Structure 1
Amino acid sequence: MAGILGATMVTAEAPLDRTPIVIAHRGASGSRPEHTLAAYELAIEQGADFIEPDLVLTKDNVFVARHENEISETTDVAEHPEFATRRTTKTIDGVAMTGWFTEDFTLAELRTLRAKERLPLLRPDNKAYDGRQPVPTLAEVIALAKRATAATGRTIGIYPETKHPTYFALIGHPMEARLVAELRAAGWDSATAPVFIQSFEVNNLKALKKLTKIRLIQLMNDTGGPADHPVDDYATMATPAGLKAVATYAWGIGPNKVMIAGGKPLVRDAHAAGLRVHPWTYRAENIFLPEAYRVPGDPATHGRIGQEIADAVAAGVDGFFTDYPLIGAQIRDKPY
């Protein structure tokens, strides 16, 4: 583990599950453009247990994997003159956004686009893969996970996030029943299925709770609150009383990693409420690392991500999201 771990860690708490799971955040997105089959395939090769597709809908109601429904940062749509007139401004969860949106494209139209690196200044090597990969569908991600499970002998799961479900419902594209039906068609509709469904919203998860036995994860940020619960905030949800309420509809929480750092009690409190804890997102670049894990260099220089992950494991997390699943798998397999 030389070069990955540094200081000795003290285990504060054991995870509820025996071994923390490695969740490839948008695939191996530190090494390939995010949300592409190439990124998911590499993540599986590197040892990820789960691959994460963020889900948005097309005009013809097909789930595709994009971080946002606005796709100018992650595809070459701006280079397609035939779609120039579809550039528009919309308000998504109270925020005005200008660009091109998946709900204005059929799947066939989206498939004419190609993915590109979202963070080219921080990950310039990934630009070599620009233009090679189409926007994948949820069906393709499911098929990849099933093929990889058969090929590797490991259970490879998926960890989809419903993006802006209230917004999509308001424009006539509700997600919940459609997502459950697609997962059920894949044979996944139980608490033991290799699937977690995550959301920053609350009503979305509560609706899913009525439709499926698949494990649900309440995402939390260190600021703000759920778009569909404007009177609530994540800080309140992360209190012992708030966590008990979350446990009535969710199997676990996915907090921003800063919410568990520095001896904060969230892992302990969540476990006391019967919730698993899967923090996000562990990235190698200095700009994404807390000061204690940075190394000399510019914002793109890779710092001590392995130590940061190992410290989270020592704090008792049950899994973690990372852009660098190879390092995450090394920590999972030999944490100390």
Structure 2
Amino acid sequence: MKQILTSSIALLLGVSSLAMAGNEPAQVGPRPLYLVNDMEDGELKNKLQSCSAGPFHRTDFSIGHRGAAMQFPEHTKESYLAAIAMGAGVLECDVTFTKDKQLVCRHSQSDLHTTTDVLAHPDLAKKCTVPFKPANPATGEDAQVECRTSDFTLAEFKTLKGKMDGANPKATTVEEYMQGTPGWRTDLYSQTGTLMTHAESAELFKKYGVKVTPELKSAAVEMPFNGFSQEMYAQKLVDELKQVGFSAKDAYVQSFNLDDVKYWINKTPEFGKQAVYLDDRMYEQEGFVATLDNMKALSDAGVNIIAPPLYALLALDNDKKIVPSEYAKLAKQADLDIIAWTLERSGPLAQGGGWYYQSVSEQIDQDGDMMKVLDVLAQDVGVLGVFSDWPSTVTYYANCMDI
């Protein structure tokens, strides 16, 4: 116990416990076994229970989605360190930019009002694209506010503190608005929330020996932005990885914008080889149906890895068993590798798991079903890795199954 606590504290203080130990252990904590114990009885549950004593080690199959965002403020140093401690072998910085065109880690260019304490800084809050307007209980109108990274210089951005993503839309005061953390998350670890630039996150990941998967986010501002074009934006992301010393084999640059992926394939082919197309066609393109032709069109363009949401990869067969979807089968036929997102982002699964599990919701009614889904993704779909808001769950599974 003392050794575990010492390692945890060392990580949170930024000291390389991995260097001290000379290997890459993972601290999975109680949640994975809680999920396993909540599973329906059967062979899979027995197998996963047999691994409870560990040992557990870091694995590239476990990808930290925004760090460990289920319990830590996303895209903060503390969230990243927690994910590293849990054995995530790949970490994500969602990349956007500031007013002075510096790359920073935020899920969206327009989320500072829900993911940071910017509204608690009056001098900065008044610079927001849409300054805070309280809700109107008489009319039912929600509070309005939008604070973008591009509203602030990097120096101003660095004065902010990350908080758990959430807001109270019925708030009549800034203080009420900022108190919106979902009940199944926690504010216990949001007392620091150190924001990071993309370069700083890459330096941190390099220090701990984990791989990186930065996502180039869509700009909320019109591009080019003060002379900063989309191509310059995509190139700067790669340049900062190179400057820190990341080799292309340890980086999975990603984007929902296929043109970004094609840019990397054509202009930085060493990084383009592992560039990830975040496939949103099934919910952004009305009437989209996966076909072998539209999957092969991606591979013909040089795309090697696609990453759709969990539900796109799963279906129910005639016996209501969770199986690979037609999308997943066609992607494999087109020689595309697959990464799935996002486990541990739906909260308790008693009501079917919500958006991420929509294609198999009939078979999702307890937290332990998360492991059932993970097993289908790993064994039947054959994904390269799984994004999770609490990476220890995937780390536990991957170690137990020797992935």
Aligned to 1:143: 203
3-state SS of paired residue (1:332) = helix
Moved more, 260-269 or 103-112: 260-269
| TM-score, with length taken from structure 1 | 0.81
> After superposition, what is the alpha-carbon deviation per residue over 1:94-134, rounded to whole angstroms, capped at 9, x for unaligned?
xxx94110011111101111011014123442x12334122
Q: Which of residues 117, 120, 127 is equivalent to 1:76?
A: 117
| Cα RMSD (Å) | 2.5
Q: Which of residues 375, 379, 385 is equivalent to 1:310?
A: 375
Gap runs ≥5 in structure 2: 1-32, 45-58, 132-143, 167-180, 316-322
Aligned to 2:37: 3
Q: Which of residues 244, 251, 271 is equivalent to 2:296?
A: 244
Aligned to 1:100: 147
Aligned to 1:198: 254
Gap runs ≥5 in structure 1: 10-18, 91-96, 150-155, 226-231, 296-301
1:182 lines up with 2:216 in the alignment: no
Aligned to 1:122: 183
- In 1, distance between residues paired with 2:82 and 2:39? 23
User: Cα distance 1:59–1:234, how it changes in 2: closer, same or farther (>3 A)?
Assistant: farther
Aligned to 1:278: 339
- In 1, distance between residues paired with 2:283 and 2:225? 24
> After superposition, what is the alpha-carbon deviation per residue over 1:140-169, rounded to whole angstroms, capped at 9, x for unaligned?
1111111112xxxxxx11111111059563
3-state SS of paired residue (1:278) = strand
Aligned to 1:66: 106
Decide whether the 8 Å contact of 1:20 with 1:320 is kept in 2. no
3-state SS of paired residue (1:23) = strand
* Letter of the 1:111 counterpart: K
Higher relative contact order structure (alpha carbons within 8 Å, sequence separation ≥ 6): 1
3-state SS of paired residue (1:72) = helix
- In 1, distance between residues paired with 2:288 and 2:38? 32
- In 1, distance between residues paired with 2:286 and 2:401? 34
Sequence identity, in percent?
Answer: 27
* Letter of the 1:157 counterpart: K
- In 1, distance between residues paired with 2:401 and 2:295? 28
- In 2, distance between residues paired with 1:4 and 1:269? 33
Aligned to 1:157: 211
> After superposition, what is the alpha-carbon deviation per residue over 1:310-335, rounded to whole angstroms, capped at 9, x for unaligned?
22112222211111210101111123
Q: Which of residues 117, 123, 126 is equivalent to 1:85?
A: 126
> After superposition, what is the alpha-carbon deviation per residue over 1:248-294, rounded to whole angstroms, capped at 9, x for unaligned?
23220001111111231222322222211001111153244535233
User: Cα distance 1:79–1:257, how it changes in 2: closer, same or farther (>3 A)?
Assistant: same
3-state SS of paired residue (2:37) = coil
Decide whether the 8 Å contact of 1:20 with 1:313 is kept in 2. no
3-state SS of paired residue (1:49) = strand
Decide whether the 8 Å contact of 2:279 with 2:306 is kept in 1. yes
- In 2, distance between residues paired with 1:210 and 1:233? 29
Aligned to 1:210: 266
3-state SS of paired residue (1:114) = coil
- In 2, distance between residues paired with 1:204 and 1:166? 16
User: Cα distance 1:327–1:171, how it changes in 2: closer, same or farther (>3 A)?
Assistant: same
User: Cα distance 1:222–1:245, how it changes in 2: closer, same or farther (>3 A)?
Assistant: closer
3-state SS of paired residue (2:114) = coil
Aligned to 1:298: none
Decide whether the 8 Å contact of 1:36 with 1:115 is kept in 2. yes
- In 2, distance between residues paired with 1:170 and 1:98? 24
1:326 lines up with 2:392 in the alignment: yes
Count of matched residue pairs = 299
- In 1, distance between residues paired with 2:306 and 2:121? 40
* Letter of the 1:115 counterpart: G
Largest Rg, 1 or 2: 2
Structure 1 residue 82: deviation in Å?
A: 0.3
- In 2, distance between residues paired with 1:168 and 1:148? 36
Structure 1 residue 235: deviation in Å?
A: 3.1
- In 2, distance between residues paired with 1:124 and 1:20? 25
Decide whether the 8 Å contact of 1:222 with 1:234 is kept in 2. no
